[in-house]
A = this chain, B = another copy of it.
């Protein structure tokens, strides 16, 4: 409630001095005694700068937007946490939002960004038309970076190594002795799906195995879609001995589908998921999974965004460390003899 003017009056100086002192302007050359007086006055009045006034003056509000599909997806929460941490460190607040909600009322969203309500946007795409709309509106007005995605041009992006992760998962299965390994493919941005599929294919081929298109099924990125994909897979005349689900939630659904069809995991079929979330450790059997540095993904995305806000060029960044790691649990085992 106290304003700069109040502090200035109480300290017997002008507002200019107070502003510069409190903002750590080192070109300010003031007597130490004056500084003390100002600081004391500010403390006594519990002075807090007004955000709106500062934003108006600097045309920078200090908030960055983070738009995802389905904020309840536990995979995102780690990304969000990373972004949150990094944003806070830089003095920014994070504003979480739902892509589809934004796209529904795109006029409002447009006013929002061009009215200066956010200084930049982090966007998680899923390949829908809502994405395209939101990304077009935002990138025309504020710096934008895509999460776990790949792009050129004015939009930045940062991604984890999905290819390595997929390859790691499939290699693990191969080491266990599997030779017929199916893929439950994600959908969403092409690049993401492609990278994971390539990891699967390359791991297979490196072991002299064939990556057959007939062993690729749609897994989507929800438990329900995973359930459906796995159900289709289980109707094949001859079953693969292992499955790599390119998304945890679809692995959760896949597990449930196997259970419903009386196919034992891992005895009848092995299953590996991509990304680790808490539920993976509470399923029956506990899900083996490969973990990717999602927290870092969120953090680095805001670092990149901040740099774009400083007029650095947009670029793509790939996170190589920490490396993907296998989290061995109970859903994989050597294939049954026959």
Chain A positions within 8 Å of B, measured between CB atoms, are 1, 46, 48-53, 55-56, 59, 61, 63, 71-72, 74, 76-78, 80-81, 84, 88, 93-98, 101, 105, 108, 110-112, 114-117, 223, 227, 252-253, 255-256, 259, 278-279, 281-284
Contact of A115 among B50, B84, B105, B223 (CB under 8 A): B50
Q: Which 10 A-B pairs have the closest CB atoms?
A: A72-B77, A52-B55, A52-B56, A96-B96, A256-B282, A48-B114, A51-B115, A51-B117, A48-B115, A48-B111
Contacts of A59 in B (CB 8 A): 52
Contact of A49 among B52, B95, B111, B255 (CB under 8 A): B111
A21 to B175, CA, bound (A): 71
Contact of A71 among B50, B56, B80 (CB under 8 A): B80
Contact of A282 among B1, B53, B252 (CB under 8 A): B252
A115 to B279, CA, bound (A): 39
Contacts of A80 in B (CB 8 A): 71-72
A253 to B279, CA, bound (A): 9
A55 to B50, CA, bound (A): 10
Expressed in whole angstroms, the minimum distance between the Cβ of A224 and any Cβ of chain B is 8
Contacts of A55 in B (CB 8 A): 51-52, 55-56
Asked if B115 and A49 make an inter-chain contact with CB atoms under 8 angstroms apart, the answer reads yes
A48 to B112, CA, bound (A): 8
Q: Taking chain A's interface residues, is the majority helix, strand, or loop, or is none over half, making it mixed?
A: helix
A96 to B255, CA, bound (A): 32
Expressed in whole angstroms, the minimum distance between the Cβ of A282 and any Cβ of chain B is 4
Contacts of A105 in B (CB 8 A): 88
Supply 15 A–B pairs (Cβ within 8 Å), ascending by A. A48-B114, A48-B115, A51-B55, A52-B116, A55-B55, A63-B95, A72-B80, A72-B278, A81-B98, A84-B97, A84-B98, A223-B279, A223-B281, A256-B282, A283-B283
Contacts of A51 in B (CB 8 A): 55, 61, 112, 115-117
Asked if B93 and A93 make an inter-chain contact with CB atoms under 8 angstroms apart, the answer reads no
Expressed in whole angstroms, the minimum distance between the Cβ of A58 and any Cβ of chain B is 9
Asked if A56 and B50 make an inter-chain contact with CB atoms under 8 angstroms apart, the answer reads yes
Contacts of A283 in B (CB 8 A): 256, 283-284
Asked if B112 and A93 make an inter-chain contact with CB atoms under 8 angstroms apart, the answer reads yes
Contacts of A112 in B (CB 8 A): 51, 93
Closest to A226 in B: B282
Most chain-B CB neighbours within 10 Å: which of A46, A72, A80? A72
Additional 15 contacts, C-beta under 8 A, given A52-B52, A74-B74, A223-B282: A48-B111, A50-B56, A51-B55, A51-B116, A52-B116, A71-B71, A84-B97, A88-B101, A88-B108, A93-B95, A94-B96, A96-B96, A227-B282, A255-B284, A256-B282
A253 to B282, CA, bound (A): 6
A89 to B252, CA, bound (A): 35
A252 to B46, CA, bound (A): 47
Expressed in whole angstroms, the minimum distance between the Cβ of A255 and any Cβ of chain B is 7
